[in-house]
């Protein structure tokens, strides 16, 4: 397999960045990893996961959709869409890589979301196999193998080198473009490292988490469960879980009066918020219990009902780490589980 020594990775970054914008996880001042545009001096972080997920590349928190210009009684509609430039994301973990497909199901089915599609088509995704999973990880519950993260190019490390394997045509083109820096390498050490990671994955505290009790056919019993009241009782109704989540996909559309026109933009919405899906007739979910339930029903029942049984969670563990009151999908699943 083709490889590059870890200490030479900056050379590869420099080569890639000559032609395209390159984003890599890098530690910020607070010590948390964040995707950062690479330039000389930006160091790759080996952190397990970035603070915010990689979905931001395709589905940013805010985005301008269209402008309106008023003159007298005329309204001019200005299409502000333009072709995204090619870019590369390096170091995407298996969970985030899977989340792209969960978003694709929603945004690339008819009617196709052209804003999303534009960015998705111009991105090359280089993944990174996990080597040090955390106690909050539970991707295996959703059939994800953290040692085989996929993407356009699958990358993994044995501690001394990064190994690259193209998974798509785009991935092949990427490898061709950096082949001058890569050499053929023996994967014995890499196989060892992956086997060790698999042992750890099997020992994780959430390794046994089961999705058996969830899915499209469990709608009525789960919806009517008497457990929701207790589970949601201390929820603060903040949007932390939804905003750090790589698969949360809801948005709201707002108009911003610029003084000489209107900017119509969309921004992430959160089912935890009181005006979520509020319509002219009113609000379909009046209590926090209903809003809280929506989030987990969406991931565990509604999404699989719409997309061939695929669950809308990838087990990245960000919500487990970030919820101010430590309520999360794992606790919900354990409470609702039918044993």
We find the least distance from the C-beta atom of residue 174 to another protein, in angstroms, to be 30
* Nearer Cβ to another protein (44/164): 44
Residue 237: both structure tokens together: 């109704």
* Nearer Cβ to another protein (179/258): 258
Contacts with another protein by CB under 8 A lie at 30-32, 48, 51-52, 61-62, 132-136, 200, 203-206, 230, 233-234, 236-240, 242-244, 252, 254, 256, 263, 265, 267-270, 273-275, 278, 320-322, 324-327, 330-331, 334
* Nearer Cβ to another protein (133/246): 133
| Secondary structure of residue 70 in the 3-state scheme | strand
Q: Exposure string (b/e) for 5-24, b if CB count within 10 Å is 16 or more?
A: eeeebeebbeebbeebbbbb
We find the least distance from the C-beta atom of residue 242 to another protein, in angstroms, to be 8
* Nearer Cβ to another protein (19/234): 234
We find the least distance from the C-beta atom of residue 237 to another protein, in angstroms, to be 6
* Nearer Cβ to another protein (11/27): 27
Distance CA 172, CA 170 (A): 5
Residue 131: both structure tokens together: 């080597």
* Phi-psi group of 308: left, alpha or beta (phi > 0 → left; psi -120 to 50 → alpha; rest → beta): left
We find the least distance from the C-beta atom of residue 146 to another protein, in angstroms, to be 13
Q: What residues have CB less than 8 Å from 211, skipping those under 6 apart? A: 141, 142, 300, 311, 333
């Amino acid at each position: 397999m083709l490889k590059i020594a870890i200490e030479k990775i900056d050379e590869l970054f420099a080569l890639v960045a000559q032609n395209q914008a390159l984003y890599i996880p890098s530690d910020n001042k607070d010590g948390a990893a964040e995707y950062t545009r690479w330039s000389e001096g930006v160091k790759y972080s080996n952190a397990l996961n970035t603070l915010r997920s990689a979905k931001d590349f395709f589905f940013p928190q805010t985005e301008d959709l269209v402008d309106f210009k008023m003159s007298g009684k005329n309204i001019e509609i200005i299409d502000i869409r333009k072709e995204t430039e090619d870019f590369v994301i390096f170091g995407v973990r298996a969970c985030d890589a899977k989340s792209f497909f969960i978003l694709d199901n929603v945004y690339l089915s008819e009617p196709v979301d052209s804003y999303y599609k534009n960015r998705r088509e111009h991105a090359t995704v280089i993944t990174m196999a996990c080597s040090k999973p955390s106690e909050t990880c539970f991707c295996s519950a959703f059939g994800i193998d953290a040692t085989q993260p996929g993407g356009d190019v699958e990358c993994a490390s044995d501690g001394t080198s990064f190994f690259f394997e193209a998974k798509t045509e785009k991935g092949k083109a990427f490898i061709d473009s950096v082949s001058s820096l890569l050499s053929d390498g023996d994967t014995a050490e890499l196989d060892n490292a992956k086997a060790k990671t698999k042992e750890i994955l099997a020992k994780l505290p959430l390794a046994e988490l089961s999705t058996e009790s969830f899915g499209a056919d469990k709608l009525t019993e789960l919806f009517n469960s008497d457990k929701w009241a207790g589970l949601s009782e201390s929820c603060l109704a903040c949007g932390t879980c939804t905003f750090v989540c790589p698969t949360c996909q809801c948005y709201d559309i707002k108009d911003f009066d610029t003084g000489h026109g209107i900017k119509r933009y969309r921004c992430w919405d959160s089912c935890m918020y009181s005006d979520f899906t509020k319509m002219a007739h009113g609000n379909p979910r009046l209590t926090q219990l209903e809003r809280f339930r929506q989030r987990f029903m969406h991931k565990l029942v509604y999404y699989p009902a719409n997309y061939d049984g695929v669950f809308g969670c990838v087990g990245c563990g960000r919500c487990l780490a970030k919820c101010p009151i430590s309520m999360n999908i794992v606790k919900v699943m354990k409470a609702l589980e039918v044993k």
